[in-house]
Amino acid sequence: MSSFGFSVLFVVFFALTMVLRTWLAARHIRHIARHRASVPAEFAPKVPLAAHQKAADYTVAKTGLGLVGMLWGGAVLIGFTLLGGLQLLSLALLPLTGPGLWHQMALVIAFGVISSLLDLPLDWYRQFVLEQRFGFNKMTPGLWFSDLVKSTIVGAVIGLPLLWVVLTLMDKSGELWWFYTWLVWSGFQLLMIAIYPSVIAPMFNKFSPLEDASLKQRIESLMARVGFASRGLFVMDGSKRSAHGNAYFSGFGRAKRIVFFDTLLSRLEPQEIEAVLAHELGHFKLRHIVKRVAVMFAMSLAFLALLGYLKGQAWFYTGLGVLPFMNVSNDGMALILFMLVLPVFTFPLAPLSSISSRKHEFEADAFAAQHTDSRHLVSALVKMYEDNASTLTPDPLHSAFYDSHPPASVRVKHLTMAGA
């Protein structure tokens, strides 16, 4: 392929992706606006009109902000690639580092820093304007800044050694570098799954043992029925950042732990909490987590193999506004370009991921209905939809592209049928 041909291909896919995402967002906003005036019949007895309208307004606001973020991200992407931003950044760093590994390291780090800084205004607006307007923000500017600093430090401590290993493998391990890198990346992902619950998560939140004895007994009884062993039941102080609530389990093997947001416990009844947990345990017992990790590993192998081909093609660089070095490593630049353009070419495939994820959600709901009363899961979901201002009337096509969970009406209908 010629560099001009790849430039044209990239521009075509970029334009199609931008148009498609804009069209989906516009559909979503119009669909929600048309259904704002009344609560869907199946939810009318349980969801007040005011809550339904708040969810509609919140979703429209988030979608609008997402459009702004998409346009900003698109401009940044074109600026880094076709307008020569990455080329200028590379040339600016070259006198400081010289060519080779350290230049490629510096390039990736500088790109990451600049990208993060460019995202900060929208992140701030999302937290302190949009979330604040709808009553969800509980963060102070100090906590927001503290999280930013801690996440940057943690990212550097973990990411920089990994980056050095990956770039070294790319440069020194021959044509099969992508396979060796995949082995390292897979091991790294498993390590993060193992240490996140006990090492990383406590840096940002406080995790306290569940103290409600009756609720603890109810949950332990459920775990015994389904054959799930956990290191402990914990309550996370999610309320210091947000009014949104959730529950999850993390880790694997003996390190598995179940975590409830304090906001969730304050809103749901014990039998509803049990039903929500039964759904989460369904994901584990039905091996959804293992399947998702396996898919992630398979996709990462395929993408690394593709990068293994592209990094040796001059048109891949020149077609994206970069003049590669001759006889010197371009590996960091290849990584950056690949991460930038991959979403442009893969976005039309997003519904495939949603289909798989929704299948798992239906299966986990069915599992919960087998081990608890499905009516309790329905009532819990309705409360969570209301508390999180999740719209009950998403546009079906927009939902197919973006939502990992089925729409509320479809999900409740399935649960109602399961409990009949």
With a CB cutoff of 8 Å and minimum separation 6, the contacts of 130 are 61, 62, 65
Q: Quote the crossing angle between the two packed helices 177-195 and 141-172, to the nearest 10°.
A: 150
Q: Is 220 an annotated catalytic residue? A: no
Question: In whole angstroms, what is the distance from residue 382 CA to residue 47 CA?
Answer: 8
Whether residue 304 contacts residue 182, with contact meaning beta carbons closer than 8 Å, is answered with yes
Tokens of 197: 């619950």
Q: Known binder of ligand: residue 398?
A: no
Question: In whole angstroms, what is the distance from residue 43 CA to residue 152 CA?
Answer: 43
- Cα radius of gyration (the chain): 24
Question: In whole angstroms, what is the distance from residue 161 CA to residue 155 CA?
Answer: 10
Q: Is 395 an annotated catalytic residue? A: no
Question: In whole angstroms, what is the distance from residue 356 CA to residue 352 CA?
Answer: 7
* Catalytic-labelled residue, pool 131, 272, 365, 395: 365
With a CB cutoff of 8 Å and minimum separation 6, the contacts of 88 are none
Q: Known binder of ligand: residue 52?
A: no
* Catalytic-labelled residue, pool 131, 272, 274, 280: 280
If one counts every other C-beta atom within 10 angstroms of the C-beta of residue 122, the result is 16
Positive/negative CA dihedral, 236, 237, 238, 243: positive
Q: Known binder of ligand: residue 283?
A: yes
Q: What residues are designated binding site for Zn(2+)?
A: 279, 283, 361
Q: What residues are designated binding site?
A: 279, 283, 361
Instruction: Provide the annotated active-site residues.
Output: 280, 365
